[in-house]
Structure 1
Amino acid sequence: MYKLIIADDEARIRRGLRNSMNWNELNIEIIGEAEDGEIALNLAKEKMPNIMLVDICMPFVNGLDLIKQLKDITENCIIIIITGFDEFEYIHEALKLKVFDYILKPVNRDNLKETILKAVNELNKIEEKKNYLEWANRHLDDNLSALKASFLSKWLNGNLQHEDVVKELSFFNIKLGKNIGMIAIKVIERLNLDVYSNGWDKELINFAIINIAGDLLGDPESIVSFVDEDNNIIIITNIENIEEWLKIGSEIGDKVNSYIHYTVSIEQKKILNDILGVKNAYKDIIHDISKKRNYKPVVNLAVKYIDRNYFLNHLSLDSVSENLNLSPSYLSKLLKQETGLSFIDYLTSVRIKRAIDIMSDPTVKIYQIAELVGYNNQHYFCKAFKKITGFSPKEYRGGNNN
């Protein structure tokens, strides 16, 4: 039943309103009466009524002040003003406060009933809307993951206009800035031959990996995670510090291996042109990670070791082969067969890719970038950079390629 409070300083009017009709037939229960505005306000705070009949002139807190305060207490409470002809000038101000209706004294029973029926009808509409929104939210929660997956798939594959992407990101409360990066994670099945034998299915493994990555990346509102049709985990996130972000990939790999004992391949890419560049970044990162999935296990381990240690200026074929207990000549042969690149060419390509990512931060100087990606000689770094990109680092940073 709907709850009603009568607020009037005259006892006979309160009594008349209470006895004017069968309130139960209207699905209304009178839960309280007040002889002044202060009592009415306290009663409203305690009882949270659906309807209030309010005399416009009462002691302590008058009807208008009461209405103003009620708006902050009971958002959907319907307020009906009771006023006399000599108080009619207050009606305009009351209507500005968006009261539902007003009734003139002496109160006519038929007028009162008609107004109350309108109020009940309005409350029914509010209730129906509330029930519908609750129903819609329940169904939305049930389907939210599917809706989000559909959006991300369309976005990554370039099937949405920019304005649509912005709207969807807002709908899903995803807060991405202009400086964002993409991470692709793939379980290397050749290095996990018992990948599903321990009872973990793909969904559970992916869920665990996404949670591990999320813990390392931080703010959940700035993280977009998605598992594509080829079971690649794709994560898009804000980048606050490019150097720290580049280390995240190795940390994710270590945590995954430590916590759930799986070896994963990880690729990272700084996205150019913020959310407009997502399609191209996704295409490139999937190309890179797809190549690695077909490598022989030992080559996967080698490139994984190089990818996470590229910044060491003493990194060499000998140090990598020693770590893997292989001969340098055998590892060199395998790398060339699988990647199409010699050891030094593969290492150089990794270093230059990382240099391009770091270069997006204009505060990092060229010599610092060289040191961060493993070169202790800026001249040699510039030479290697131009060989890979066709531009010097300065030209690349100052042109249309950054």
Structure 2
Amino acid sequence: MFKLLIAEDVKIVRETLIRSINWNGLGVDLLGAAENGQEALAWLDREEPDLLLTDIGMPGMNGLELIEAVKARKPDVRCIILSGLNEFEHARQAIKLQVLDYVQKPINPAEIEEVVSRAVEGLRKEREERRGLAAAEQAAKELLPHLSEVLSPAQWSGSLKKKKLVEQAIRYVKDEYARRDLTLSDVAASVGLSDKYLNVLFKEVTGLTINHWIIRLRMEEAGRLLKDPAIKIYEICDRIGYADQDHFRESFKKQFGLTPTEYRNKFL
């Protein structure tokens, strides 16, 4: 549910907005209806709305002044103007304030429902995108404990869409990295991209090619398993997808600066 606050000085309009619209059906939790701009600002000290539906022509503090004050405190609040003032200057100022929509009076509940529905859908998409971005970054951190030491913030500056594709590739590799026959083509097919494009995309987002990323993941897992003396080195080699112990030894030493045996001896 997204929270919405109304600011409207005319009582009959205020009550109509409250009663004639199925806010819950729109996915909206109506916080309340303030009688003026000052009262609306006081709401922000108690609870932060996602949406503000405000009249322009209110005494004391008009709707545009209210929006400006709200944006200064809570920049993420989306604002919708409700007004009978059909003047270009107000519309131009509203655009400068990044107002989401502009609804004319007399009020039409169906029109307001349509406008709010679009606003809610936009907010929902933004929320999903933020969650997707957070999940992508968290997945990479969980899979590579030392990733933050390797990558700079600039390397994580790709678009959200790119990060989502990389997140999907990371999940696939996490599930399949122990397969000896795992290839770049397998990973690319899992996200519906060509080998070349996925590799370029992956490196742009993480700073590593997919093959290097798979090797690093395998070596991190090998390092974890080597701490358990009950697990033989040849068993570890097999578990992480290596058929050749010499190849495994070379890769491990390149990653940690120690052979698997030397690394294990540190924990005995």
For Structure 1 versus Structure 2, the TM-score category normalised by the shorter chain is 0.5 to 0.7
Given that 2:86 and 2:104 are in contact with CA atoms closer than 8 Å, whether structure 1 keeps it comes out as no
What is the deviation of 1:85?
Answer: 3.5
The one-letter code matched in structure 1 to 2:257 is: D
Distance 2:227 2:22 in 1: 63
Q: Which residue of 2 aligns with 1:41?
A: 41
Tell me the SS of whatever aligns to 2:103: strand
Tell me which amino acid in the other structure corresponds to 1:231.
L
> Shift of the alpha carbon at 1:130?
2.1
Structure 1 unaligned segments of length 5 or more: list them: 152-167, 173-199, 203-226, 233-261, 263-402
The corresponding residue for 1:8 is 8
Aligned-residue offset at 1:110: 2.0
CA–CA separation in structure 2 for the residues paired with 1:28 and 1:51 = 9
Structure 1 segments of 4+ aligned residues over 2 angstroms from their partners? 72-76, 85-89, 143-151, 168-172, 227-232
| Residue of structure 2 equivalent to 1:229 | 256
Per the alignment, do residues 142 and 82 of structure 1 end up closer, same or farther by CA in structure 2, a change over 3 Å counting? same
In the alignment, is the contact (CA less than 8 A) between 2:6 and 2:54 conserved in 1? yes
Paired amino acid for 2:3: K
**What is the rounded CA distance, in whole Å, between the counterparts of 2:89 and 2:57 in structure 1?**
12
Residue of structure 1 in register with 2:81 after alignment = 81
TM-score scaled to structure 2, two decimals? 0.55
What is the match of residue 100 of structure 2?
100
Q: What secondary structure does 2:135 align onto?
A: helix
In the alignment, the residues of structure 2 paired with residue 125 and residue 85 of structure 1 have an alpha-carbon distance, to the nearest angstrom, of 32
Deviation, 1:92, is 1.0
1:116 is matched with 116
Indicate if the aligned counterparts of 1:54 and 1:81 stay in contact, CA closer than 8 A.
Answer: yes
Q: Is the 8 A contact 1:54 1:79 kept in 2?
A: yes
CA distance in 2, matches of 1:30, 1:68: 21
Letter of the 2:98 counterpart: K
Measured against aligned partners, the alpha-carbon deviations of 1:273-309 in whole angstroms (never above 9, x if no partner) come to xxxxxxxxxxxxxxxxxxxxxxxxxxxxxxxxxxxxx
Q: Do the aligned residues in 1 keep the contact of 2:3 with 2:30 (CA within 8 Å)?
A: yes
The percentage of counterpart residues that share the same residue type is: 34
TM norm structure 1: 0.38
Query: How far off is 1:144 after superposition?
Result: 4.5
Counterparts of residues 15-30 of structure 1 (less than 5 Å): 15-30=15-30
Q: Secondary structure at the match of 2:76?
A: coil
Cα pair distance change 1:228/1:134, threshold 3 Å: closer
Please report how far the alpha carbon of residue 40 of structure 1 lies from its aligned counterpart in structure 2 after TM superposition: 0.5
Displacement of 1:6 in angstroms is 0.8
CA 1:87–1:74 in 2, change beyond 3 Å: closer, same or farther? same
Contact conserved, 1:52 with 1:79, CA < 8 A, in 2? yes
Contact persistence 2:20–2:109 (CA under 8 A): yes
Residues 62 and 145 (structure 1), Cα distance of their counterparts in 2 relative to 1, 3 Å cut: same
Q: Using the TM superposition, give the Cα deviation of residue 146 of structure 1 relative to its aligned residue in structure 2, in angstroms.
A: 4.8
1:72 aligns with 2:99: no
What is the DSSP-based 3-state SS (H/G/I as helix, E as strand, rest coil) of the residue aligned with 1:4? strand
Q: Is the 8 A contact 2:57 2:85 kept in 1?
A: no
Q: Structure 1 residues 170, 132: CA separation in 2 closer, same or farther (over 3 Å shift)? A: closer
- Deviation of 1:149 after TM superposition, in Å, equals 6.7
| Aligned residue number for residue 344 of structure 1 | none
Distance 2:123 2:153 in 1: 34
CA contact (8 A) 1:84 1:104 kept: yes
Q: Name the CA shift for 1:145/1:17 in 2 (closer, same or farther; >3 Å).
A: same
Q: Is residue 63 from structure 1 mapped to residue 90 from structure 2 by the alignment?
A: no
Question: For residues 152-184 of structure 1, what are the alpha-carbon distances to aligned partners after superposition, in whole Å with 9 as ceiling and x for unaligned?
Answer: xxxxxxxxxxxxxxxx47559xxxxxxxxxxxx
Deviation at 1:96, TM superposition (A): 1.0
Q: Deviations over 1:133-154 (max 9, x none)?
A: 2212321321343545766xxx
Question: Counterpart amino acid of 2:83?
Answer: T
CA offsets, 1:218-270, max 9 Å, x none? xxxxxxxxx943239xxxxxxxxxxxxxxxxxxxxxxxxxxxxx9xxxxxxxx
Measured after TM superposition, the shift of residue 8 of structure 1 is 0.8
Contact 1:45 1:73 in 2 (8 A): no
Contact 1:49/1:74 (<8 A) preserved: no
Is the Cα contact below 8 Å between 1:56 and 1:82 reproduced in 2? Answer: yes
Match of residue 32 from structure 1 = 32
Between the two proteins, the alignment pairs up a number of residues equal to 166
Note the residue ranges of structure 2 that are not aligned, 5 or more in a row.
157-225, 229-253, 260-265
Distance 2:13 2:122 in 1: 25
The change in CA–CA distance for 1:145 and 1:65 in structure 2 (over 3 A counts) is: same
Aligned letter for 2:15?
A: R
| Structure 1 pair 139–44 and aligned structure 2 pair: CA distance change class (3 A) | same
